[in-house]
Amino acid sequence: MTKTANPPRPQIRGRADTFFLWIQTHMRQVAIAGVVLVALGLGVWLWRQSRVARERNASIDLLNAAQTIQSGNMALAQSDLEKLVARYEGTNAAAQAAFELANIYYGQGQYDRGIALLQQLAESSDDPLVKAMAEDGVASGYEGGGRFADAAGHYRRAAELTRLEDERDIYLASAARAYQAAGNKTEAVAIWRQLIDSEGTQSAEARVRLGELTAEPAKQG
């Protein structure tokens, strides 16, 4: 009986030898690649540590500014907040500082400065919540300056950005009031009707406001 030939075995050892031979031949390149990988890993670690430290330092400065506000020294608080916003742009503390600083500007009647500050925050932030809050702050500034039509547009923008349904209704109600103040009855009525249909937190006010806007004056006898 003829024996069946054994199938050839994979040349695992030969491949391993070839691999190690390649390593020995290219030792310098392998060493350089290893150094590069280590450097990259170290760079990422240092970047993360630097980011954490930056956030921590910004938070400390924000706390100090808040204490200064509580003490009533608004001039110093304004100066500290302006430095914080410029130095730690992109941090959570800098975003909070921008809102506090805008409130100070608004309190001084410097609506353009507050609007510009919050508009920049709305454009630069990657956080939808921060962007929505910034747009709401911009709208408040326009409203404070008597530019109600502009305010309404930014309230609407805030409503588009937020992911929270109740908050969206609040922004829309603010937009409707601003449209009313601007004399734009059509837009105000449309928003109040939308809020009634949504049956959210602003639906009760929407019914009252809509009744005021659509009520016909009594005929004189």
What are the tens digits of pLDDT across the range 18-72? 655 655 565 666 566 665 566 566 554 444 555 677 788 888 888 888 898 889 8
- Quote the CA–CA distance of 214 and 56 in Å, as a whole number: 54
Query: Which two tokens mark 179?
Result: 């449209």
H-state helical runs in the chain? 12-25, 27-71, 74-87, 92-107, 111-124, 128-144, 148-161, 165-182, 185-198, 203-214
**Per-residue model confidence (pLDDT) at position 22:** 52
- Whether 2 shows a pLDDT value over 70: the answer reads no
> Quick one: 119 exposed, middle or buried, by C-beta within 10 A (0-12, 13-18, 19+)?
middle
Binned at pLDDT 50, 70 and 90, residue 12 comes out as: very low
Q: What is the mean pLDDT of residues 91-103?
A: 92
The number of CA neighbours under 13 Å toward the Cβ of 146 is 1
Q: Long-range contact list for 58-63, CB < 8 A, 24+ apart? A: 58/84, 58/87, 58/88, 58/91, 58/92, 58/93, 58/94, 58/97, 59/92, 59/93, 61/87, 61/88, 61/93, 61/97, 62/93, 62/96, 62/97
Q: Is the distance from CB of 185 to CB of 149 less than 8 angstroms? A: no
Q: How far is CA 203 from the centre of its chain?
A: 28
Read off the pTM.
Answer: 0.73
Tens of pLDDT along 172-215?
A: 999 999 999 999 999 999 999 999 998 889 999 999 999 989 87
- Whether 218 shows a pLDDT value over 70: the answer reads no
